[in-house]
Amino acid sequence: MTMRELAALAGVSVGTVSKAFSGSREVSDACREKVFRIAREQGCFEKFDRTPFGAPVIAVLCPELKSRQYSAQLSLLSGEIRARGGVMIALDYDFDPLRAEDLLTYAVRHARADAIITYHSPASEPPVPTVVMGEHPSLPSVRISRLGAIKEALSLLASLGHERIGVLSERLTDGFARTVKECMTELGLPVDDTLFYKSEARFEAAGYEGMSALLAREDPPSAVLAAYDNVAIGATRAAEERGLSIPRDLSIIGSDDLTEDSYLSSSLSSVSFDNEDLAEVVTDLLFSLLAGEKPHTQTVKLSARFVARQSVGKKE
């Protein structure tokens, strides 16, 4: 049913129907109730209802839900938003920028989100307050810098005698491999491109595949950095299946620090950052935008840190 057809049934103008659903005070309570009653009878009330939800609705556009890193951040964001009286809806775009743009439109037009948090950098500025998880030329953003932590991890490996350092990444983590290579070059460490392995698989399978390939070489690395902890777990499994001991025969470093250490023979060293801090900073920034305040800075930078544990040792 169209709004014009509903207006005809109610005996009012299309403008009156529109105002009734938008909550305009120009429409009397009796007229509004009549329009709403007929709309419910015709099964089109939800189609035209524009009544505010009563609490800020925050749409979070996330690359995926199955990653432990993203799911942990979403859980913390939900708690922070709820603590401020808001409601969060999560929309995953599976790393597809075109889907992300469609979901931005959906969030604003159909989900009626009051504000947006997005891991995707929008092609144009959304019409509601928006915070980008990363960097954007004009929108407020919050990004995590791993540069210092990766340099610290590499410096430790170098000090322990590791010269052949491998890097395990997968099809969605090219940025990690590039950052490691830049850090190695800056620190004067030897860079061997053949020790940089990118898998088409993901999570533990990517680490298992990559580590198996590197260990099959005549001159395998004595240490590896993995794009994230799941990759490091797979790499650990591949190494131990071949009789190697961590860290006596091979040092392994992960990234994101979300691993359950009790399942590993050696607790995993990792590039770590505070997800609780991230959720709080992002939510504070977003709600200040909702309050009409201007951000003090365009981009808030949070720094990761390197946590050394049992999986790193001296090269024998």
Query: In the chain, what are the domains?
Result: 3-48 (1.10.260), 57-139 (3.40.50.2300), 145-273 (3.40.50.2300)
- Global pTM reads 0.82
Is the peptide bond preceding residue 247 cis, with omega within 30 degrees of 0?
A: yes
- Give pLDDT tens digits along the chain (316 positions): 888 999 999 999 998 988 888 777 898 999 989 999 999 999 988 777 766 667 899 999 999 999 989 999 999 999 999 999 999 999 999 999 999 999 999 999 888 899 999 999 999 999 999 999 998 999 999 999 999 999 999 999 999 999 999 999 999 999 999 999 999 999 999 999 999 999 999 999 999 999 999 999 999 999 999 999 999 999 999 999 999 999 999 999 999 987 666 567 789 999 998 999 999 999 999 999 999 998 888 899 999 999 999 999 999 8
Q: How crowded is the C-beta side of 286, counted as CA atoms within 13 Å?
A: 31
